[in-house]
Amino acid sequence: MSKDHSLEDRIVFVLKSIYDPEISVDIYELGLIYDIQVNDEKEVKIVMTLTSPNCPVAESLPIEVKNKIESLKEIKNVDVVLTFDPPWSREFMSEEARLELGLL
């Protein structure tokens, strides 16, 4: 269990290195990552959203997430699922992100 937990921690670390190009906050703190699942075969499923359906990085951001998570050597496969249910809102942002953007 602890090994999987550390793998999930490393996935979060990688996600925190990916920034929304319009907002200088990483996608994890921005609340764009809804779910991270890692199974016993080291296959990862990421459920994520964008700040809006017509976001300029709608095509490239999920690919960037997939490629960066796949760069972790133990990962066998990454499935990135894009959803707009529920739609993203500022409430999903971490306190750190809101502080950084002056929303607190």
Long-range contacts of 25-31 (CB under 8 A, 24+ apart): 25/93, 25/97, 25/100, 25/101, 27/61, 27/65, 28/94, 29/93, 29/94, 29/96, 29/97, 29/100, 30/92, 30/93, 30/94, 30/97, 31/88, 31/91, 31/92, 31/93, 31/94, 31/97
- Residue ranges of the domains in the chain? 2-88
- Structure confidence by residue, pLDDT tens digits, 12-22: 999 999 998 88
* Full-model pTM: 0.90
- Structure confidence by residue, pLDDT tens digits, 20-56: 888 889 999 999 999 999 999 999 999 999 998 888 8
- Fold that domain 2-88 belongs to in CATH: GMP Synthetase; Chain A, domain 3 (3.30.300)
